[in-house]
Amino acid sequence: MQPTHSFLRAALRLQTESTPIWIMRQAGRYLPEYRKVRARAGDFLSLCKNPDLATEVTLQPLRRFDLDAAILFSDILVIPEAMGMNLRFLEGEGPLLEPALRSTLDLDLLHPIDPESHLDYVMKAVTSIRRELDGRVPLIGFSGSPWTLATYMVEGGSSKNFTFIKRMMYSDPKSMHRLLNLLSDCVADYLNAQIQNGVQAVQIFDTWGGVLSPRDFLEFSLRPMQNILERLKTIGPDGQQIPVILFAKGCAAHLETMAATACQVLGLDWMTDLGQARDRVGSRVALQGNMDPAILHAPPERIQQEVRDLLASFGPAPGHIFNLGHGITPDVSPEKVAILVESVHNESQRLRQERS
């Protein structure tokens, strides 16, 4: 049974009438209505944990823009919290995870998760968003990759040089693998629970795979993701295939290797040439991306030009999902997003007509 939504069709490399678009962090601080709900919730984590408010902010961008998918509003760090760590978001400072995991003894403090109970608020949000969406567009679920989650857990938050996790990786690879294995189990269970509750596609964010040497990326980032891919449900409760998007920032050197995994879509950052990436992966996967988010500060004509360039660079084959190469930043004006979304649909339709 082939899907009808253009986002799901493009993810499976089926023809679409226009190129679908969604935007990483489309439910976010650049929207005044998001900032209002966020203020009402108190803090960021309370917003994530309130299924009604999470539903509301997930839907907000869809009311403004003709986006082709919704993405669950949540945070990748709910997993470490569910495993027993203390999570806080300090205003303007980024996340804090305590106590930071520095030794194999620290790992003893973690426990496996039962997503339906430890992360019940996420599952409630998924159910509620699906009900509100009422089939209009598909809902994307997500998780951080094991390596990316591990960086926050070992560093105790964000990091610049990744000193502590690399110390563990190079000096105590056994503990490193123990943590990554534990996380692979949690992420697989978590994504499967999201699918069971109704998400129609999932994205795995490997935000920090790009700080690893090629050999280390394969061992510490890609292999755990492959373990997850092998364990994910491929068909949802409604009988539809669940496409998996792998987004590994700064990892364009590994496109071919990533395309050979069980994922359906590769997300690209904007440092990667879309046309070259298309040539390199051939018809093995669909591609998602990859406009520089900063172009949203440019005048409308420049945004439209960039859209035309990217669509032309991908070429006529099916299998392109338009997106930014990274999350939208809070300083972008929503008017520019409207121009982007409209332009992607109009230009891609025009291109298809020219070609037929």
**From 12, 35, 100, 162, residue interacting with its own copies (rule: CB under 8 A):** 162
Q: State how far the Cα of 227 lies from the Cα of 187, in Å rounded to an integer.
A: 10
Which residue is listed with tokens 């998760």?
113
Question: Which tokens sit at 233?
Answer: 């449900």
x/- mask, its own copies, residues 265-304, rule CB under 8 A, reads -----xxxx--x---------------xxxx-xxx--x--
Question: Which tokens sit at 292?
Answer: 């520089």
Q: Is 250 among the residues that bind its own copies (CB under 8 A)? A: yes
We find the least distance from the C-beta atom of residue 344 to its own copies, in angstroms, to be: 17
Q: Which of 38, 68, 189, 206 is catalytic?
A: 38
314-353: contacts with its own copies (CB under 8 A):
325, 329, 331
Q: How many residues touch its own copies (CB under 8 A)?
A: 35
Is 25 an annotated catalytic residue?
Answer: yes
Q: Which of 130, 152, 206, 278 is catalytic?
A: 152
| DSSP structure class, residue 310 | H
We find the least distance from the C-beta atom of residue 185 to its own copies, in angstroms, to be: 27
Give residues with Cβ within 8 angstroms of 222, minimum separation 6: 209, 248, 254, 257, 258, 261
Give residues with Cβ within 8 angstroms of 274, minimum separation 6: 268, 287, 289, 290, 310, 313, 314
Q: Is 211 among the residues that bind its own copies (CB under 8 A)? A: yes
Which of 278, 288, 277, 298 shows the shortest CA–CA distance to 325?
Answer: 288
Is 30 an annotated catalytic residue?
Answer: no
Residue 296: CA count within 13 A, CB half-sphere: 25
**From 69, 252, 266, 337, residue interacting with its own copies (rule: CB under 8 A):** 252
**From 2, 117, 171, 353, residue interacting with its own copies (rule: CB under 8 A):** 171
Pairing of strands 265-267, 286-291: parallel
Q: State how far the Cα of 284 lies from the Cα of 265, in Å rounded to an integer.
A: 9
Is 215 an annotated catalytic residue?
Answer: no
**From 117, 213, 353, 356, residue interacting with its own copies (rule: CB under 8 A):** 213
Q: State how far the Cα of 194 lies from the Cα of 141, in Å rounded to an integer.
A: 7
Q: What are φ and ψ of residue 318, in 5° steps?
A: -75, 165
Is 40 an annotated catalytic residue?
Answer: no
The piece of 21-29, 68-76, 194-202, 246-254 that touches its own copies (CB under 8 A) is 246-254
Is 38 an annotated catalytic residue?
Answer: yes
Enzyme catalytic residues: 25, 29, 38, 75, 152
Residues that bind its own copies (CB under 8 A): 161-163, 166-167, 169-171, 210-217, 250, 252-253, 270-273, 276, 292-295, 297-299, 302, 325, 329, 331
